[in-house]
Amino acid sequence: MTELNQSQINLSELELSKQIEDLLVALNPRGMKDIQPALKPGYYLRAAQILKGLTGTVLIGTGFPVTDTFETDGPVGAIALYNALEELGAHPILVGGESFVSLTENEYRVHKLIEGDFTHSKQEAIDTLAKLQPQAIISIERPGLSEQGGYFNMRGEDISAYCACFDHYLNEAACPTIAIGDGGNEIGMGNIKQAISGLDITPSITTCDELLIADVSNWGAYGILAILGMWVKNDLLAKVDPIAVLEYISERGSVDGVTRENNLTEDSFPPAYGHEIISNLRKLTKFIKD
């Protein structure tokens, strides 16, 4: 990926990106605001630039496993990205494990990852990338491989038996890659390995081209859509309904990643928080007035 240099960045847009970046870590439940200085400012702007004007395939990996199901954080943002990118002319595909893909394949284009077989996961990624030829890859709240070679949740539990490997899709990609995370154990967090070393987690070492952080990963998707919508003069966030998507995945067995309960929350936050984030982003991009 060619990094935007200063001459390519509109300074007012860079300032907007910084405001978005600060907004999305303001609550700081898992220390993302503390590690924010490790990222070069403008990361939401650069991520949006990667996705701007795409007309080909975009792979969106999501679905953090919780035993035999998946958590609410990740899919809500992934579906928001899917719908917006499709409206803008791209060909998005949701990628995940059996529990997520089997429950969404009737409404969305999906690709199922191999679960419980890390021996062949790299070759599966190489073969799939060759077939689909994505223009960009997004990982939103996917578990990332640790130095130990397995996957761990926020409690420090080894969840490798429930995981499918999406890491190799980013490692082997010939296209730009974006990752969104909120805790340090997700794909992409290897970009700031030193900064997250002090967090009480088993960190991921998987890297990406552009890492985005947020208090809740779903909200990171909204940050991208705020900038894309501004550029095309289309209020993309006005079409995002977090409660409707939470209801859709809850009916299919999703659970809150913190409470492990089947309810309409994201990392224990009620959906009103997501709505407020969307409202504030729309104010920042001038789609609604203060």
Tens of pLDDT, residue by residue over 150-168, are 999 999 999 999 999 999 9
CATH number of the domain to which 136 belongs? 3.90.1640.20
Residue type, 95: V
- Angle 282-228-24 (CA atoms, 0-180°, nearest 5)? 55
Give pLDDT tens digits for 32-57: 999 999 999 999 999 999 999 999 99
Tally Cβ neighbours within 10 Å of residue 8. 10
Helix H or strand E encompassing 279 = helix 271-284
Domain range for 154: 17-284
Question: Would you call 172 helix, strand, or coil by DSSP?
Answer: coil
Give 229-274 pLDDT, tens digit per residue: 999 999 999 999 999 999 999 999 999 999 999 999 999 999 999 9
The answer to whether position 6 is within a domain reads no
* Strands 65-66, 69-70: pairing kind: antiparallel
pLDDT digits (tens, 9 = 90+) for 75-91: 999 999 999 999 999 99
**pLDDT number for residue 290:** 66
**pTM value?**
0.95
The verdict on residue 36 lying in a domain is: yes
As a whole number of angstroms, the distance between CA 73 and CA 79 comes to 11
Residue 200: exposure state from Cβ atoms within 10 A (0-12, 13-18, ≥19): exposed
Q: How big is the CA angle at 248 (ends 77 and 170), to the nearest 5 degrees?
A: 35
pLDDT of 7 reads: 42
Residue 64 has pLDDT above 80, yes or no: yes
Domain count, the chain: 1
CA–CA distance, 145 with 149 (Å, rounded to integer): 6
Residue 119 pLDDT grade (very low, low, confident, very high; cuts 50, 70, 90): confident
- 281 vs 222: CA distance, rounded Å: 8
CA–CA distances in Å: residue 93 to residues 60, 85, 133, 201: 6, 10, 12, 30
The one-letter code for the residue type at 219 is: W
Which residues are bridge partners to 96 per DSSP? Answer: 112
Rounded-to-integer distance, Cα 184 and Cα 19, Å: 22
**pLDDT for the residue numbered 9:** 55
Any domain includes 10: no
Domain assignment present for residue 7? The answer is: no
Helix H, strand E, coil C: the string for 78-94 is HHHHHHHHHHCCCEEEE
DSSP, collapsed to helix, strand or coil, labels residue 257 as coil
Going by C-alpha positions, the residue among 54, 52, 258, 6 that lies closest to residue 153 is 258
Does residue 2 lie within any of the structural domains? no
- The answer as to whether 290 is a domain residue is no
Residue 147 pLDDT exceeds 70: yes
Residue 180 forms part of a structural domain: yes
Is residue 27 exposed (0-12), middle (13-18) or buried (19+ Cβ within 10 Å)? middle
Domain membership of residue 87 (yes or no) is yes
- Assess whether pLDDT exceeds 60 at residue 1: no
Q: How far apart are CA 220 and CA 208, in angstroms?
A: 15
Question: Residue 114: which pLDDT band, with cuts at 50, 70 and 90?
Answer: confident
pLDDT in tens, 214-241: 999 999 999 999 999 999 999 999 999 9
pLDDT at 183: 97
pLDDT at 6 over 50: no
Q: How far apart are CA 167 and CA 207, in angstroms?
A: 8
